[in-house]
């Protein structure tokens, strides 16, 4: 299975049957789980840092 970036859909074989474009790259996940985990971890880290900053400013 390969992914056509033009049509934004998967297809079989070397060329996309919808637009005829030759796509070399193998199919890839739209959003890998490690990236989701990384984003969530970054958000939690930022919230923790803001919380620390606020509590430091209060004292
Ligand atoms: Zn296509």
The owner of tokens 């984003």 is: 39
List pLDDT tens digits, range 12-45. 888 888 898 777 666 566 777 888 899 999 999 9
pLDDT of residue 39: 95
Of residues 1 and 51, which shows the higher confidence score?
51
Predicted TM-score (pTM) of the model is: 0.43
> Nearest 5°: CA angle at 58, between 55 and 59?
95
Q: Cα(14) to centroid of ligand 1, in Å?
A: 11
User: What is the tally of structural domains in the chain?
Assistant: 1
pLDDT of residue 27: 59
Confidence band for 50, pLDDT divided at 50, 70 and 90? very high
Q: Cα(32) to centroid of ligand 1, in Å?
A: 22
Of residues 17 and 55, which shows the higher confidence score?
55
Q: Which residues contact 41 (CB under 8 A, 6 or more apart)?
A: none
């Amino acid at each position: 299975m390969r992914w056509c970036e033009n049509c934004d859909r998967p297809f079989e074989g070397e060329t996309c049957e919808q637009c005829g474009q030759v796509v070399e790259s193998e199919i890839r996940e739209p959003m890998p789980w490690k990236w989701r985990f990384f984003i969530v971890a970054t958000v939690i880290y930022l919230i923790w840092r803001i919380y620390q900053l606020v509590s430091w400013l209060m004292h």
